[in-house]
């Protein structure tokens, strides 16, 4: 029997080139795809409900005799049909109808219809029901299973999708859709056979628990979610193993440079920084590539930990590359590392996409000649960038870079043979459930201690009708010698409009705050202009900085103690938390004012309340995950990761420990089952599983 993964949808009755194109839009190319395209929800059309038993809000199949059909003139003209079955009367209302339709529903006609029951002016009504007139004496069978409602796209009707799934189900069997979970493994985790789960989800029996299905807690969904999470885990494990199998330069623990660095630093690292530093130092001393994620809340001092790691590679005579997602953050690192490494006699090279012509050629030559420390943006990924002896890559804000981009750096290792160690840092705390699943290819360290002297930020939520009071508050703070940020957020995803809004706000605030020096920074400015404005703000020559969210990460001005964020309801919690982290870096009491535009949605209110209640990034991350789901949190719109079909990381978090164990068992005992699983679930993103 042919495997359904190898049979094109064009093999189904009624599927020509035009329909095949529409199906491809929703990822349906083979019969296996059709079977894995599962219903979103179900309707129960398996029994006829007496009219007298109907309740508002219920979806139901009703059968009765037409007692009358009239065109009614209300606010809108409608056809009102009264249906009776001996237990009561129900009205069917049509706003769009034809003369033929009206004649087909004349008095005495027997009708079966389906729709949502609502209270109306004449008792219970169904608007625009699906219906059919019954003729003759032969009984018309009701549906034998719940009716599936599928995810669809323009030009694909539910009827068509049901016909296709019906044909695919007719060909479904253990041989046409092989179950790649060995029976022993399935029994151990109490998982049903794959074909039984798929058959059930496409056509649940009349007595199926609809609530359980709606919440994704049904045994059939559980079976598929387990397999999907398992496959995701396997793809990351495979990545990890392929990287681990490579050689990396073993870097002895450094002594000389860290001592000099510490002497110049002016403070003692926290216990957490020392602990994480020791974990990294051990990894670097091995000849297998380090793959470590360092999570630390805003201001926990990740950069200092990164510097210690860099010094270990530099003392051993190798190169280090540090990469950040934005130019402004990369510049910040460049300034910090130049300041730290210059006294140790080490040069720092700089490479960003905006570097052109001679300056670019000179930077490339400097890197190829072996500049010890190289800082830049994703321009460092490009083919023309050649390192002489790259041993360590430090990546800031990992969720902005895809897995593929991280892997591209492997080719940059010593002589193209040795794989550089990778240290990945993020100030977006990632809930444990997510870290276990999304970063299964990485070891994790957590910086859970803030440096002494950092003050928690007091957060207030204020409606923008009180804008004038807020402006006065800014004036007061600046007159007392403090500095402030005024952040303009995204206007419906348009960077251009946001920059214009920032320019308007800048003009308004400059006029309102006569006598104060106000600066402006946004994404459309040249890197040099941004750096100059930032520098003036740092030096204290500007008291107020109007900015777009480009200042989200890494900007460090201890004297800034007040931040105003306009339209905070447009941002995710993690981003708000990052922005807020720009204040509270000195010893003065700091405040963050969230200036929202009413009315707020229920979700908006919840999110701003969380910001007011806690400054703990991990608590915020957990809440963000509950409110927004994993896709947005991990920045996966950019990386294409975690687009789950059945699984849901929040709902299925309890499965993850078992999934990890099962992935290990499968790799050890049934390695030949791994590729078919990856092919089935990740066909459209199989680069995750194959390196």
The token pair at 193 is: 């056979």
Q: What confidence score (pLDDT) does residue 541 get?
A: 92
Contacts of 593 (CB under 8 A, 6+ apart): 459, 460, 462, 470, 473, 562, 563, 564, 565
Q: What confidence score (pLDDT) does residue 222 get?
A: 93
pLDDT in tens, 37-85: 889 888 888 888 898 888 888 888 998 999 888 888 878 888 889 998 8
Asked if the model's pLDDT at residue 622 lies above 90, the reply is: no
pLDDT category at 192 given cuts 50, 70, 90 is: very high
225, 398, 415, 284 alpha-carbon torsion, rounded to 10° = -90
| 265-281: average pLDDT | 90
pLDDT in tens, 538-556: 889 999 999 887 765 556 7
The answer to whether the bond into 71 is cis (omega within 30° of 0) is no
In angstroms, the first-to-last Cα distance of the chain is 32
Q: What confidence score (pLDDT) does residue 470 get?
A: 94
Instruction: Give the whole-angstrom CA distance, residue 511 versus residue 146.
Output: 65
pLDDT category at 201 given cuts 50, 70, 90 is: very high
- Pairing between β-strand 483-487 and β-strand 544-547 as defined by DSSP bridges: parallel
Edge to edge, what strands does the sheet with 319-323 contain? 348-351, 373-376, 319-323, 390-396, 421-426, 291-296, 443-447
Q: How far is CA 362 from the centre of its chain?
A: 38
Q: What confidence score (pLDDT) does residue 690 get?
A: 35
Pick the more confident residue, 243 or 249.
249
Q: What confidence score (pLDDT) does residue 307 get?
A: 94
CA distances from 59 to 44, 54, 88, 567 (A): 7, 9, 17, 40
- What does the chain come to in residues? 691
Paired strand residues for 110? 65, 134
CA distances from 478 to 481, 579, 624, 672 (A): 5, 19, 33, 66
Strand, helix or coil for residue 608: helix
Paired strand residues for 376? 323, 351
Asked if the model's pLDDT at residue 632 lies above 60, the reply is: no
Centre a 10 Å sphere on the Cβ of residue 410 and count the other Cβ atoms it contains.
19
**Ramachandran angles phi, psi of 494, nearest 5°:** -105, 115
| 498-518: average pLDDT | 87
Out of 30-34, 339-343, 414-418, 675-679, least confident range: 414-418
Q: What confidence score (pLDDT) does residue 686 get?
A: 40
CA angle 190, 659, 31 (to 5 degrees): 75
Paired strand residues for 366? none
pLDDT in tens, 422-478: 998 887 667 666 666 667 677 888 877 777 767 778 999 999 899 999 999 999 999
| DSSP type of residue 389 | S
3-state secondary structure 418-429: CCCEEEEEECCC
pLDDT category at 492 given cuts 50, 70, 90 is: low
Asked if the model's pLDDT at residue 367 lies above 70, the reply is: yes
Q: What confidence score (pLDDT) does residue 636 get?
A: 36
Q: What confidence score (pLDDT) does residue 643 get?
A: 62
Of the candidates 188, 213, 186, the one whose C-alpha atom is nearest the C-alpha of residue 202 is 213
Asked if the model's pLDDT at residue 687 lies above 50, the reply is: no
Complete domains list, the chain, with CATH: 51-134 (2.40.50.140), 256-447 (3.40.50.300), 457-614 (3.40.50.300)
Q: What confidence score (pLDDT) does residue 688 get?
A: 37
Strand, helix or coil for residue 245: coil
Q: What confidence score (pLDDT) does residue 639 get?
A: 35
Cβ atoms of 457 and 592 within 8 Å: the answer is yes
pLDDT in tens, 320-364: 999 988 777 788 889 889 999 999 999 999 888 777 889 889 888
| 236-257: average pLDDT | 86
- In this prediction, what percent of the chain has a pLDDT beyond 90? 29
| 605-619: average pLDDT | 85
Q: What confidence score (pLDDT) does residue 280 get?
A: 96
pLDDT in tens, 256-269: 999 999 888 877 88
pLDDT category at 634 given cuts 50, 70, 90 is: very low
Rg (CA), the chain: 31
pLDDT in tens, 20-36: 888 888 888 899 999 99
Asked if the model's pLDDT at residue 310 lies above 90, the reply is: yes
pLDDT in tens, 124-153: 988 888 888 887 666 677 788 888 888 877
Q: What is the residue-wise DSSP string for 499-553?
A: HHHHHHHHHHHHHHTTTS-EEEE-TTS-HHHHHHHHHHHHHTS-SEEEE-GGGSS
């Amino acid at each position: 029997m042919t495997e359904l993964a190898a049979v094109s949808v064009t093999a189904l009755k009624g599927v020509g080139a035009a329909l095949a194109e529409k199906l491809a839009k929703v990822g349906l190319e083979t019969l296996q795809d059709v079977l894995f395209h599962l219903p979103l929800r179900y309707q129960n059309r398996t029994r006829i409900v007496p009219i007298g038993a109907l309740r508002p809000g219920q979806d139901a199949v009703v059968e009765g005799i037409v007692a009358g059909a009239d065109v009614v003139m209300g606010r809108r003209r409608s056809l009102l049909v009264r249906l009776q079955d001996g237990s009561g009367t129900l009205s069917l209302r049509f706003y769009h109808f034809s003369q033929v339709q009206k004649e087909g529903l004349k008095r005495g006609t027997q009708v079966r219809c389906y729709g949502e029951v609502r209270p109306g002016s004449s008792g219970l009504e169904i608007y625009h029901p699906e219906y059919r007139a019954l003729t003759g004496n032969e009984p018309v069978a009701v549906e034998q299973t719940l009716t599936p409602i599928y995810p669809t796209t323009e030009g694909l009707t539910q009827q068509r999708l049901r016909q296709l799934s019906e044909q695919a189900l007719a060909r479904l069997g253990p041989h046409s859709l092989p179950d790649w979970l060995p029976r022993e493994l399935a029994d151990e985790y109490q998982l049903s056979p794959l074909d039984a789960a798929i058959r059930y989800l496409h056509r649940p029996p009349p007595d199926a628990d609809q609530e359980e299905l709606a919440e994704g807690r049904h045994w059939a969904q559980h079976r598929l979610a387990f397999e999907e999470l398992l496959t995701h885990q396997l793809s990351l494990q495979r990545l990890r193993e392929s990287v681990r199998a490579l050689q990396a330069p073993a870097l002895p623990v450094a002594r000389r440079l860290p001592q000099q660095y510490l002497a110049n630093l002016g403070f003692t690292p926290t216990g957490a920084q020392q602990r994480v530093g020791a974990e990294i130092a051990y990894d670097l001393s091995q000849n297998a590539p380090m793959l470590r994620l360092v999570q630390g809340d805003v201001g926990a001092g990740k950069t200092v930990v990164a510097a210690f790691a860099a010094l270990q590679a530099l003392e051993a005579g190798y190169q280090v590359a540090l990469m950040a997602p934005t130019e402004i953050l990369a510049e910040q690192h460049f300034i910090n590392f130049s300041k730290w490494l210059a006294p140790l006699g080490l040069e720092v090279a700089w490479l960003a996409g905006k570097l052109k012509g001679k300056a670019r050629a000179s930077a490339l030559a400097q890197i190829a000649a072996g500049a010890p420390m190289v800082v830049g943006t994703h321009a460092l990924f490009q083919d023309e960038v050649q390192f002489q002896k790259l041993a360590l890559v430090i990546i800031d804000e990992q969720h902005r870079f895809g897995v593929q981009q991280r892997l591209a750096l492997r080719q940059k290792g010593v002589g193209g043979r040795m794989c550089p160690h990778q240290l990945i840092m993020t100030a977006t705390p990632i809930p444990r459930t997510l870290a276990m699943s999304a970063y299964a290819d990485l070891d994790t360290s957590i910086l859970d201690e803030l440096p002494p002297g950092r003050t928690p930020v007091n957060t207030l939520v204020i409606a923008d009708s009180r804008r004038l009071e807020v402006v006065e508050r800014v004036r007061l703070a600046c007159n007392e010698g403090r500095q402030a940020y005024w952040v303009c957020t995204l206007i419906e995803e348009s960077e251009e409009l946001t920059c214009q809004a920032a320019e308007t706000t800048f003009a308004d605030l400059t006029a309102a705050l006569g006598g104060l020096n106000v600066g402006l920074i946004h994404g459309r400015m040249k890197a040099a202009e941004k750096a100059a404005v930032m520098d003036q703000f740092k030096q204290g020559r500007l008291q107020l900085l109007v900015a777009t969210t480009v200042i989200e990460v890494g900007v460090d001005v201890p004297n800034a103690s007040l931040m105003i964020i306009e339209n905070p309801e447009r941002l995710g919690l993690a981003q708000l938390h990052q922005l807020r982290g720009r204040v509270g870096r000195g010893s003065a009491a700091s405040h963050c004012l969230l200036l929202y535009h009413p009315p707020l949605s229920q979700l908006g209110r919840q999110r701003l309340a969380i910001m007011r209640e806690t400054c703990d990034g991990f608590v915020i991350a957990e809440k963000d995950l509950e409110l927004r789901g994993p896709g947005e949190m991990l920045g996966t719109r950019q990386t294409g990761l975690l687009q789950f079909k059945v699984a849901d990381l929040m709902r299925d978090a309890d499965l993850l420990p078992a999934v990890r164990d099962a992935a290990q068992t499968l790799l050890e005992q049934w390695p030949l089952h791994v590729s078919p699983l990856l092919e089935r679930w990740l066909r459209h993103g199989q680069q995750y599983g194959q390196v």
